[in-house]
Amino acid sequence: MQTDGRSGRPRAAHHLIPSAYFEDLAAGRGGPGTIRFLRRTEYSRRLLLLRALLDTMAATPGALGPLPPVDSAWDTLTAAQEAAPEEFRELLLHPQIGIWLGHSIRRLTHTAWGDGPLWTDLGHLYAVCSVAALRAGLALRTTVPVRDGTAMFPTLGLARLSGRPHWGTAEVVVAEGRLRVDAYGESVGPPEPPGTSGGDAPGWQGLRTLRADAAGRPVAVLLDDIDPYRDLSEPLPARRLGKDRITRWQELFGGALGLLARVDPDTAAAVAEGLRTVTDVEPAPGGVVLSASSGDAFGGVLTSLPPDPVTLAVTLVHEFQHTKLGALLHLLTLEQDSGAERHYAPWRDDPRPLGGLLQGAYAFLGITDFWCRYLDEAPRAERPLAEFEFALRRRQTEEAVRVLAADPGLTGHGRRFLRGMTARLSSWWGDDRIRPDVAALAEFVARDHRTGWRIRHLSPAPEDVRALARAFAAGLPAGFRLARSSVVPDLAAPWSHARTWLVRCRLGAPPGDGRPAASVADRALVSGDPPPRTPTPACWPTIRNPPTPGPASSSPPTPTARSSAVPSCRVPSTVNSA
């Protein structure tokens, strides 16, 4: 583990972070070598979590209920690791196993809950043992929990056992390279040999695979719709995707990886090195793409089906930034904060703690990088919107980085990391490919969002309000210094972001579904035709309809007020947990 130079020697050499990797990550980058290093450190962490889980199980009477004793799991896992270390490593690094480990430890420590007895979550250990034995070519007979008639075997598939009780058990036999689940005279398992249709067989659903090519490198990623630990909270029932949706996912995934390979081969190679699973989730109301990732699940991305490859490419970049930073935070402390939700994040409607702002800023550093690189790749009709996205994301990220720099909660490592982010941002402010009218639209949207956020979440000191009211009534200037407003989150106030939606549509984005309600005044403002006697904001440009792509005639504006907009309309953006 890297130190500040004041601590003792690290205990494990493979936790030392090479300076080159740290600097690449701080700049929002990190190629395949960096990702391989982070995977090694994540494997160490998974081993520690596995050890902590098994130790706590052994110390908790009755934790495993009707399942075998924990010592049998130790024996199987140890033998599998010795017989096939690389296979064991890849299995343990499966994102859904990381989610299960975290959830199970939290259940044991009473910081999370489940919908069934404790042993139904902890007993997933024996499904992991079964897959480990199968991969290592070992024989095994064990018992696994059955959840609503199903038993999941990570990376392999889901056994469906008809007529089973909601909570129960089933016997598993691994022998001669095959896995069979036996319960009440019924025997199911993966097809032999694995066939088509995602490896399906009677009583068995296999995981589907998305395939693509990233700069000449074949990529295969599991599209997970069945593992109960594919979400970031409590276990979920399987939700099998239809054939048409699978086909659409394959088209979008191939298009997104192909696009990344053209505009940013290093990021495409890094994603190919680290991404392991994609989980389909439902979109937000109105069709806005939702995405998320977790520090527990390195290499896993949750996202709703995007409308096009550009949106999916942005989503993958966004979540992969979280993945990299999450792994780094397992090795270094970048911030020490109370967790109070007190900061403005330009891409969020709600106040964020320091750690959340850092995560968001790092994700949008990657998104800004994507739009910068995509500008010259964008089709002519999409160029105005791409310029807007680049200008807006650059503006948002720069504001967040300035807020981070002013916060005393960053550690020495955190400030060094932030310097790398700042240097990367500085290189984009000299980019002259954004026309002034589009840059002004981004500035307007940024100010509009910040103003809306302040109205909803900032509360001035009551004595200042009274003093200002008295001065106003008396026709006097406010000749005193105001106290700092307090952040008082108001998450119930509705916020449609109609003006942001209208701006994006004005620049060529399809309206999409679930369009927000826009007033007559909003439409007049965005159309550049405000009502009589209504002053036009100084930052509002006169824009061509539609804007004609072409070279910029001046440099982008120097950033002043800071804010941004939540994604809406059809834009390559997502809402997530940043």
Q: What is the 3-state secondary structure (H, E, C) of 56-105?
A: HHHCCCCCCCCCCCHHHHHHHHHHHHHHCHHHHHHHHCCHHHHHHHHHHH
Q: How many other CB atoms are there within 10 angstroms of residue 456's CB atom?
A: 18
Model confidence at 446, pLDDT cuts 50, 70, 90, reads: very high
Q: Which class for 388: exposed (0-12), middle (13-18), buried (19 or more C-beta within 10 A)?
A: buried
Q: What pLDDT does residue 193 have? A: 66
Chain mean pLDDT for the chain: 88
Model confidence at 198, pLDDT cuts 50, 70, 90, reads: low
* pLDDT of 62 higher than 70: yes
Task: Summarize pLDDT for 64-81 with one digit per residue, the tens.
Answer: 999 999 999 999 999 999
Share of the chain above pLDDT 90, in %: 74
Task: Summarize pLDDT for 463-504 with one digit per residue, the tens.
Answer: 999 999 999 999 998 888 888 899 998 888 788 889 999 999
Q: What pLDDT does residue 547 have? A: 40
Q: How many other CB atoms are there within 10 angstroms of residue 118's CB atom?
A: 18
Q: What pLDDT does residue 514 have? A: 61
Residue of 37, 34, 15 lying closest to 24 (CA atoms) = 34
Q: What pLDDT does residue 15 have? A: 76
Model confidence at 194, pLDDT cuts 50, 70, 90, reads: low
Q: What are the residue ranges of helices labelled H in 352-409?
A: 354-374, 383-406
Model confidence at 115, pLDDT cuts 50, 70, 90, reads: confident
How far is it, in rounded angstroms, from Cα 356 to Cα 353? 5
Share of the chain above pLDDT 70, in %: 87
Q: What pLDDT does residue 12 have? A: 47
Q: Are 71 and 127 in contact (CB under 8 A)?
A: no
* pLDDT of 575 higher than 60: no
Q: What pLDDT does residue 568 have? A: 32
Model confidence at 162, pLDDT cuts 50, 70, 90, reads: confident
* pLDDT of 384 higher than 60: yes
* pLDDT of 526 higher than 90: no
Between 525 and 134, the higher pLDDT residue: 134
Rg of the chain in Å (alpha carbons): 26
Q: What pLDDT does residue 482 have? A: 87
Least confident piece of the model among 133-137, 317-321, 547-551:
547-551
Least confident piece of the model among 218-227, 277-286, 557-566:
557-566
Model confidence at 558, pLDDT cuts 50, 70, 90, reads: very low
Bond before 228 cis per omega within 30 degrees? no
How far is it, in rounded angstroms, from Cα 129 to Cα 366? 37
* pLDDT of 220 higher than 90: yes
* pLDDT of 536 higher than 70: no
Model confidence at 290, pLDDT cuts 50, 70, 90, reads: very high
* pLDDT of 150 higher than 60: yes
Q: What pLDDT does residue 285 have? A: 77
**Cα of 8 vs its chain's centroid, Å:** 34
Q: What pLDDT does residue 1 have? A: 32
Residue of 320, 175, 303, 184 lying closest to 249 (CA atoms) = 303
Q: What pLDDT does residue 562 have? A: 29
* pLDDT of 250 higher than 60: yes
Q: What pLDDT does residue 286 have? A: 73
pTM: 0.87
Q: What pLDDT does residue 78 have? A: 97
Task: State the greatest distance between any 2 C-alpha atoms of the chain, in Å, as a whole number.
Answer: 91
Q: What pLDDT does residue 68 have? A: 97
Model confidence at 46, pLDDT cuts 50, 70, 90, reads: very high
Q: What pLDDT does residue 560 have? A: 32
Q: What pLDDT does residue 233 have? A: 82
DSSP-derived secondary structure for 96-157: HHHHHHHHHHHHHTTS---SS-HHHHHTHHHHHHHHHHHHHT--EEEEEEEETTEEEETTTE
* pLDDT of 552 higher than 90: no
